[in-house]
Structure 1
Amino acid sequence: ARRVLTGFPGSFASGEEAVGNPVRAEIAAIAPPEQRLAGRDGPLRLLVLGGSQGARVLNRAVPQALAALKLDAQVRHQCGEKLRAEADAAYAQAGVQASVESFIADMAAAYAWADLVVCRAGASTLAELCAAGVGSVLVPFAAAVDDHQTRNAEYLVEHGAAVL
């Protein structure tokens, strides 16, 4: 191959062209932050995404962090079906109110609702965050092949769209 198409620049030493990742039309159609958040009032709207399988580290750490910070936030947490009871228990133990869901079918509505997203750093998720214009706290999956989620996350951090 003379050229490799990638989702993010810097994936290969040479011969690459970063073309981005496609996103669903409903996510691309989310109003930009200037419109979506204009005149917005109230507590922080925090969306936590563990992916379809859930992310045990997010299920445990986010409720504890919110309790320690005493943060006034509306929390919507997608935890994965197999980890639902664990996530419910973690929020109850931390004394934090949250809407805990195994799965979120309408991700466009969830992104449009959110002020901030805490999630893994898979390429598709990051493409959706960029399209929606939502800031994020990224927690890369430590066992990802070649640590690619950390490299994905670093690109957004370098461009002021996320913290790692």
Structure 2
Amino acid sequence: HEQNAIAGSANRLLAGVADRVFTAFPDVIAKARWVGNPLRAAFIGQPDPEQRFAGRSGPLRLLVLGGSLGARALNQIVPQALALMDPAQRPQVLHQSGAAQIDALRAGYAAAGVQAETTPFIDDTASAIANADLVICRAGASTVTELAAIGAAALLVPFPAAVDDHQTRNARFLADQGAAWLMPQSELQPERLAQWLQSAHRAALLACATRARGLAKTSATAELVAACEELTT
């Protein structure tokens, strides 16, 4: 099973001799079956975007996910971008940084004069994503899969040092179909991000989230287990 939108060298080699080949994204390995990535139940059972967005008003709800190690670029640029916005247009922010960067993140928001809820980790990531109007995050395989399963609008900033630039390929799966936005880290500057956020509207984010939900594959666990049982009995 290949989890990314571009196959790693080991899976490219093994695909030629494997009895079954599965992928998380389409058109990754010839003759493979596209099933998605395994998901925890919390990511599958969320209400659809229209239900979640119904009745929302006021500032946009922004969730920034830095991952367990912290995405330093996001942790530095997002507070600076928000500081450039009209305070009346700033979103309500929940920013997860990773343990190693939480102090620097809090200092960054304080220096920017921007109010935000900051935390090293989020225990219930599925609910946090579902509660957000917009997610800013990297584009790892699991993250992209979870965003689609929930149906969440996202601005994806791929990690530029990822092997074979696979995070950009992951992000394009959603972005090319209007189910996310892609911003390379080289273009992630405070001024540009501030302008982008000021132009974001809840109706457009709902449309994006709905398209993401339509691309979700949520039965990977069952399909992979079934294949293992078939091949071992």
TM-score with structure 1 setting the length: 0.94
1:104 corresponds to which of 122, 126, 144: 122
**TM-aligned CA distance change 1:19 to 1:63, over 3 Å:** same
**Counterpart in the other structure of 2:54:** 38
Is residue 8 of structure 1 aligned with residue 25 of structure 2? yes
Letter in 2 for 1:155: F
Point out 4+ residue stretches in structure 1 off by more than 4 angstroms: none
Measure the CA separation in 2 of the matches of 1:86 and 1:46: 19
**Counterpart in the other structure of 1:85:** 103
Measure the CA separation in 1 of the matches of 2:38 and 2:19: 22
* Cα distance, 1:131 vs structure 2: 1.0
Letter in 1 for 2:42: E
Letter in 2 for 1:99: E
Higher helix share: 2
Q: Percent identity?
A: 58
Stretches of structure 1 lacking an aligned partner (at least 5 in a row): none
Measure the CA separation in 1 of the matches of 2:181 and 2:80: 19
* Cα distance, 1:2 vs structure 2: 5.8
* Cα distance, 1:3 vs structure 2: 5.1
Residues matched between the structures, number: 163
Higher strand share: 1
Larger Rg: 2
Measure the CA separation in 2 of the matches of 1:3 and 1:138: 31
* Cα distance, 1:4 vs structure 2: 2.6
TM-score with structure 2 setting the length: 0.67
RMSD: 1.2
